[in-house]
Amino acid sequence: MVIDWLPSILIVALLLIGVVGMLRRSSLWRAGRPEKVNIIAGLLAMPGRYFKDLHHVVERDKYMANTHVATGGGFVLSMVLVLVVHVFKVEQQIVAWALLAALLLMLVGAFFVFKRRLNPPERLSKGPWMRLPKSLIIFALTFIVLTLPAAGVLPEGTGGVALIAVLSIGVIIGLGELLFGMGWGGPMKHAFAGTLHLAFHRRPERFGGGRSTGLKPVDLEGDVLGVAKPSDFKWNQLLGFDACVQCGKCQAMCPAFAAGQPLNPKKLIQDMVVGLAGGTDANYAGSPYPGKEVGNAKGGPNEIITAGLVSQETLWSCTTCRACVEECPMMIEHVDAIVDMRRFLTMEKGETPNKGSEVLENIIATDNPNGYAPGSRTNWAADQNLAVMKDKKEVDVLFWVSDGAFDMRSQRILRAFVKLMKAADVDVAILGDEERDSGDVARRLGDDATFQSLAKRNLATLGQYKFNKIVTTDPHAYHCLRNEYADFDKDGALAGVEVLHHTTFLNQLVQSGALKLDAFKGGKVTYHDPCYLGRYNGEYEAPRDLLRSLGIEISEMERSGFRSRCCGGGGGAPITDIPGERRIADMRMEDASATGAELVAVGCQQCTAMLEGVVEPRPEVKDISEILVDQLVEEVH
Amino acid sequence: MPHKVISLISVGRHPQSGRSRRADQDSRAVELGLKLAGTDLDVVHAGSSEEPVLRQYAGMGLPKVTVLEQAESADALPAISSYLKTQQADIVLTGVRSESGESSGMTPYLLAEQLGWPIVARVADIVEVKDGEAQVLLALPRGQRRQVTVKLPFIASIDNAAEAARQSAFGPGLRAKMEAQSGSTEEDSVRVNWSEAPAKARPKRLKVVKAKTAADRFKAATAKPQGGSGKVMKNESAQEQAQAIFDLLIEEKIIR
Amino acid sequence: MSDIIRRDPRAEWIMRNRLHPLHDQYMSQEEGGEVRGPSGLIRKFPHKVGFIGPNGIKRIDRLKGNSSAPKGKRSAAAQEVQLPLHKVDSPDYYIMVVADMVGGRLTGHDKDILGLAHKLIAEQGGNGAVVAVCFGEVKEENFDTAGVDRVLHIEGEAFEGYAPEARVQALAKVEAQYTVKHWLFPDSIHGGCDLASRLSARLGERPATQAWQVNAEQTVSRGASASLDITRQTPKILMLLEECADAIDETRHEATPITLDDVAVSAATIKDKGLMAVDPNAIPMAEAEFILSAGNGIHNWDQFHEAAKVLGATEGASRVAVDDGFMPRSRQVGATGTWVTARVYIAVGISGAIQHMQGIGQVDKVIAINTDAGCDMVKRAALSVIGDSEEILAELMKLAAEHKQTSLSDQAEENSNAA
């Protein structure tokens, strides 16, 4: 009877349509620029990446992790078995029972998905995503009923035509969502795109416990610098955007979103999806960019993004704190995308907002963002009796001073650190006036040409001297030196050199007993993790160890460690200065005040400046080296 | 009919680092030129077409820069003047003073004299060009403006009060065409005899007391230097405090 | 005070009589009074002994007030000193100083240049005369003490207001009519530089601009945006920086008017349409010379804006005021905002974060209005008033309004003559 075959035909038909959709979807990604990816190795590594790295992120939310394992695992298993049982008609009861078990597992998972969707948190997208648990349940139930005869629970032909018809509708609804939807842009697209995204990720180093946070250099010979149109992204970046599940974890973590600035990382990624597929954002059912209505954005693969799809302020609101990337279960690289688009605005259009253009011009003309005379870079150290590389040529530790040298507040940090190094008898020297801005601000503002020029000139300077370690008090310079200069270091100026943040270095000194410190006698202390030290470089422990070595019991903020909230000072955000409803620094200071701390310990001059900019009364803000120096036991020689 | 506008550009010098850059006033002249003529603006430089600073100007959105190729020591004036004579320009824009070289600010005046055109100095804005006449705003001290009209064609030197130059974008700057023409070979013969040295700091004028008596001279010599901590008024009434501030403003000639 | 010296016989008597009950009191009012040390000995404070006599020489009155003439307080009836007159009869050559005459009066810059002109004559020798060339309305009354031997006042409607073309034609005529050794101009934005450049182009002379060290042979002038000192032969036309020489202050000069033959002025291609009113807030903050800056301590923002308007100040703000949205970002003063170079900076309710202090490092006079006498801004300020900013600003506005009322007529006159 034909009708008996109907479900099987439907399965095959939907599977084929789904596959066609997937092929079509892949062609959309291929509109992106080429990028070399090891396809085979990626595919082979994919399951491992899924079960280890991705799951590691998802597991931060136990409820959802278990739900997803049940639903996803159950679905994959049952889909395979559905093909075996219902298409290839393998008539072994054990297989049918296995299918039933898988479907039950999936049903349980789908039930919990359903439960979460009953009263979903604000960060989750609604729209088609609200339909998903129902489709999942229909799929599971339909196939359970359909499989019961094969398992021998029900006799063949139970229910007759009517049931077959009902079940066929179930098959259409269930598989329509799961197979057709997967290929044609439904919520289930995430499974297909996500799988491939994991396989062909642009930063494979991130998997297996690694870290890859340095921005990729721009080819300055290219015909367009940066990303103007969606098709200017690398193909695997486009693929990455398509993997988004709209869980909104990024949105919940984004400091700019919380401050009411017009940025929502989830919406941004969805707008990129709109861009790569063409169309409008009318179907987007999540939170908008604060202060902007949904439905007006339009774009296509070959249309300029900032002309209608995403506004410029959105791109300039980002502090590049990487909280979204850290939180994303699909390992999407939001910051890369934002900086790519900023590069176009700065290097092609010359539209860096507010003080941006002035800062860039200063960096170009004076190698520092505020346009000070390059010859006054070492003025702060006039009384420090510091050796200069030019005279020493060879030294154990090179102290990278960074642009804090020009800022009177940051100079206090520098002096404290120098005093500590002197107390520990470190063989140290500075570059003096030969040092230049690390290029961090220029790069985050999208001016990669200036960054590259600075990087090359700094490397050429460094290449003249011999040293074992570079230590810096500025996490931004630290990040550039450690993660981003390697792309330009053709002569190996930094080969074999250990790049350290001062907290790491001081911690080594304290642990080795080179520094003698008194116990700290002040009040409660909390520690603010700088983004460029923590999320960018994974250094969460050294600063805490240092505080502990003073006998301080740190009262941690609710958001600390890898979830630390940005101070608002990164990514050139204070320069581009996009207005919001609140200031990010104020919110961070509220976090700190909530712990009842009287002192906020910081490991970054930029964070210090931002947090100290909060109107009093507020806890005091000090760099860790400043706290240490107050407790230093000076030995009389 | 759109007007033909030419902006003259030179290599600037950053006041802090002394490095080459696009000169402040010249780039404002380009900005004003772009406002008047859009990308039809002709931007002219006398010097080397290899000069990287030209790319910074071009980054303001210029498709090409005309370069009158000549050695650094050559006088720019004859080249520019003969170039202008071949062009049917309506408005020529320059900076008030160059940031490198002699910085005499004579270029626009000499060009005007040679071409027989009027020159308006320290222009803040060109508001309107109509009926062979331009309405020009001149910059005066303390942000004041004077409105004048000038007959076309004319030369204008652009003051720092003019609208700031737009940001220079790296990409377009890199791709702009440098159209080289031969410039002049005339050496600046007068300048050869000058001696040049890095600027010495100018001494601040001291208050010289020409005292008639020994006692006055003694007093002047031993008088406490001004400065130290300022005066703090704590318990006076608001009126007295305001009076003290006001007296200081009068003394400093802020309020006249 | 009356110039008549009056004696106080009673006071003299008491001072003579050591047994008088009021003796100590009267003596202690006088310099060098008796003070008893801890052991009861009479101590003399040698620095207090004596007084400055009428010739400026220190005198010690050993008569203890017993002299017939009462001491001190001789009225300082400033005698009008008649300075010696410097006369130049039928000069061989002239040095022309084309003065800016802002508001119809010689500026300090003009006077420095007049001083330099005399220095050049002294070095070169010969019978030279310094001529002040002026256009438009002249209100200056002290040409004689400023070192002007001759005054060439070029009058006529064609030279009024902004008329550089007509003026340069007149100057060219001067060159033809008189034996001019040097043309000296202030290198200023008041028109001196413009006129000098026009004249140089017209006469085909190569001028020295931004000259600051000039003698008869050599001129040192600034070049390459003031980073270079160019030494050259002193040219005929000089544009001089301020303080290039000392102004004349010890001689009086004739200031005799001389005349110019009629100048045929050709029709102007540049037409003056008058001055435009400009909002002080349109002045770039980095160049403003008077800034009223607001911080966290301001609560009445309308009043603050009003005060800035009344005082004619450019508005500035601390970072906090900007962050809170009361002022635009472009108004922020400080390390991350604008570095200002104002002569006077009034900080209202700004306690003075270190970044802000960095931004006002080059300010000449800081005035702090604050409620906290211990804040850093008060330490930096030349004058600090501690109190409620709203009240003080209100009083200040009142004073400014009164001042305007009294000097209104005077000001109106000046404005009409402003270069």
What digits encode the pLDDT tens for the residues A354-386? Answer: 889 989 999 999 999 988 999 999 999 999 999
Nearest to A347 among B16, B60, B170 (CB): B170
- Which residues constitute the domain of residue B76? 5-193
pLDDT of residue A241: 95
Nearest to A583 among C323, C335, C336 (CB): C323
* Contact between chains at A613 and C329 (C-beta distance less than 8 A): no
- Note the pLDDT tens digit of each residue in A163-196: 888 888 888 898 888 888 888 888 999 999 999 9
Q: Which residues of A touch B100 (CB under 8 A)?
A: none
Q: Which residues of C touch A583 (CB under 8 A)?
A: 323
Q: Which residues of C touch A579 (CB under 8 A)?
A: 325
Q: Which residues of A touch C335 (CB under 8 A)?
A: 370, 407-408
Instruction: Please list the residue range(s) of chain C that carry CATH number 3.40.50.620.
Output: 86-258
Residue at B11 is within a domain: yes
**Percent residues over pLDDT 90 in chain C:** 13
Nearest to A370 among C320, C329, C335 (CB): C335
Residue A497's H or E segment, with its range, is none
CB C188 within 8 A of CB C218: no
Spatial separation of the C-alpha atoms in residues A322 and A334, rounded to whole Å: 8
pLDDT of residue C417: 46
- Note the pLDDT tens digit of each residue in C304-342: 999 988 888 889 999 888 888 888 878 888 877 788 888
Spatial separation of the C-alpha atoms in residues C49 and C63, rounded to whole Å: 12
One-letter amino acid for residue C374 of the chain: G
Q: Which residues face C232 on adjacent strands?
A: C219
Q: Which residues face C220 on adjacent strands?
A: C213, C231
Residues for chain A: how many in total?
A: 637
What value does the mean pLDDT take over residues B129-135? 89
Nearest 5 degrees, angle CA A439-CA A440-CA A445? Answer: 100
Residue at B36 is within a domain: yes
- Note the pLDDT tens digit of each residue in A289-323: 999 999 899 999 999 999 999 999 999 999 999 99
pLDDT of residue A322: 95
CB A289 within 8 A of CB A263: yes
- Note the pLDDT tens digit of each residue in A570-599: 999 989 888 888 889 999 999 999 999 999
pLDDT above 70 (res C107): yes
Nearest to A348 among B17, B60, B169 (CB): B169
- The reply to whether omega before B153 is within 30° of 0 (cis) is yes
pLDDT of residue A202: 93
Q: Any CB–CB contact under 8 A between C358 and chain A?
A: yes
**ipTM score here?**
0.86
Q: Which residues of A touch C355 (CB under 8 A)?
A: 407-409, 609
Q: Which residues of A touch C320 (CB under 8 A)?
A: 613, 615
Q: Does domain C280-408 have CATH number 3.40.50.1220?
A: yes
Q: Where are the alpha helices (DSSP H) in A278-407?
A: 312-316, 323-327, 334-343, 356-366, 389-392
One-letter amino acid for residue B76 of the chain: A
**Percent residues over pLDDT 90 in chain A:** 75
Nearest to C243 among B205, B216, B241 (CB): B205
User: What is the count of residue pairs from A and C with beta carbons less than 8 Å apart?
Assistant: 27
Q: Any CB–CB contact under 8 A between A219 and chain B?
A: no
Question: How is domain A369-510 classified at the CATH fold level?
Answer: Rossmann fold (3.40.50)
Q: Which of B136, B139, B158 lies closest to B148, judged by CA?
A: B136
Number of domain units in chain B? 1
Q: Which of C116, C107, C110, C31 lies closest to C73, judged by CA?
A: C31
Residue at B82 is within a domain: yes
What value does the mean pLDDT take over residues A517-537? 93
What pTM was computed for the model?
0.84
Q: Any CB–CB contact under 8 A between C286 and chain A?
A: no
pLDDT of residue A70: 92
CATH classification at residue B119: 3.40.50.620
Q: Any CB–CB contact under 8 A between B193 and chain A?
A: no
Instruction: Please list the residue range(s) of chain C that carry CATH number 3.40.50.1220.
Output: 280-408
Question: How is domain A2-199 classified at the CATH fold level?
Answer: Fumarate Reductase Cytochrome B subunit (1.20.950)
Residue at B112 is within a domain: yes
* Contact between chains at A352 and B167 (C-beta distance less than 8 A): yes
pLDDT of residue C64: 58
Average pLDDT, chain C: 81
* Contact between chains at A407 and C335 (C-beta distance less than 8 A): yes
Q: At what angle do helices A502-511 and A541-549 cross, to 10 degrees?
A: 40
Q: What is the rounded radius of gyration, in angstroms, for the C-alpha atoms of chain B?
A: 25
Q: Which residues of C touch B149 (CB under 8 A)?
A: 270-271, 273
| Antiparallel, parallel or unpaired: β C237-240 and C180-186 | parallel
pLDDT above 70 (res C118): yes
Nearest to B245 among C193, C225, C367 (CB): C367
pLDDT of residue A335: 96
CA B143 to chain centre: 15
Q: How confident is the model at residue C71 (pLDDT cuts 50, 70, 90)?
A: very low
**Percent residues over pLDDT 70 in chain A:** 98
* Contact between chains at B169 and A349 (C-beta distance less than 8 A): yes
**Percent residues over pLDDT 90 in chain B:** 39
Residue at B230 is within a domain: no
Q: Which residues of B touch C207 (CB under 8 A)?
A: 104, 106
Instruction: Please list the residue range(s) of chain A that carry CATH number 3.40.50.
Output: 369-510, 515-630
Residue at B217 is within a domain: no
- Note the pLDDT tens digit of each residue in C275-302: 886 676 777 777 788 899 999 888 889 9
Q: How confident is the model at residue C251 (pLDDT cuts 50, 70, 90)?
A: confident
Q: Of A494-508, A602-616, C251-265, which gets the smallest average pLDDT?
A: C251-265
- The reply to whether omega before A617 is within 30° of 0 (cis) is yes
What value does the mean pLDDT take over residues C73-89? 66
| Antiparallel, parallel or unpaired: β C208-214 and C218-223 | antiparallel
- Note the pLDDT tens digit of each residue in A17-37: 999 999 999 999 999 999 999
Taking CA atoms, what residue in A is nearest to C353?
A613
Q: Which of C256, C217, C203, C261 lies closest to C91, judged by CA?
A: C256
* Contact between chains at B170 and A225 (C-beta distance less than 8 A): yes
Question: How is domain A216-349 classified at the CATH fold level?
Answer: Fumarate Reductase Iron-sulfur Protein; Chain B, domain 2 (1.10.1060)
Q: Which residues of C touch B244 (CB under 8 A)?
A: 383, 385
* Contact between chains at B147 and C379 (C-beta distance less than 8 A): no
Looking at per-residue confidence, does A561 or B196 come out higher?
A: A561
* Contact between chains at C353 and A612 (C-beta distance less than 8 A): yes
Interface subset of A 507-526, CB within 8 angstroms of C: none
List all chains that touch chain C, counting a touch as 3 or more CB pairs closer than 8 Å. A, B
pLDDT of residue C66: 54
User: What is the count of residue pairs from A and B with beta carbons less than 8 Å apart?
Assistant: 54
Question: How is domain C86-258 classified at the CATH fold level?
Answer: Rossmann fold (3.40.50)
pLDDT above 50 (res C196): yes
* Contact between chains at C336 and A574 (C-beta distance less than 8 A): yes
Q: At what angle do helices A189-199 and A2-29 cross, to 10 degrees?
A: 50
Please give the structure tokens belonging to residue C152: 């060439």
Q: Which CATH code fits A515-630?
A: 3.40.50
pLDDT above 80 (res C211): yes
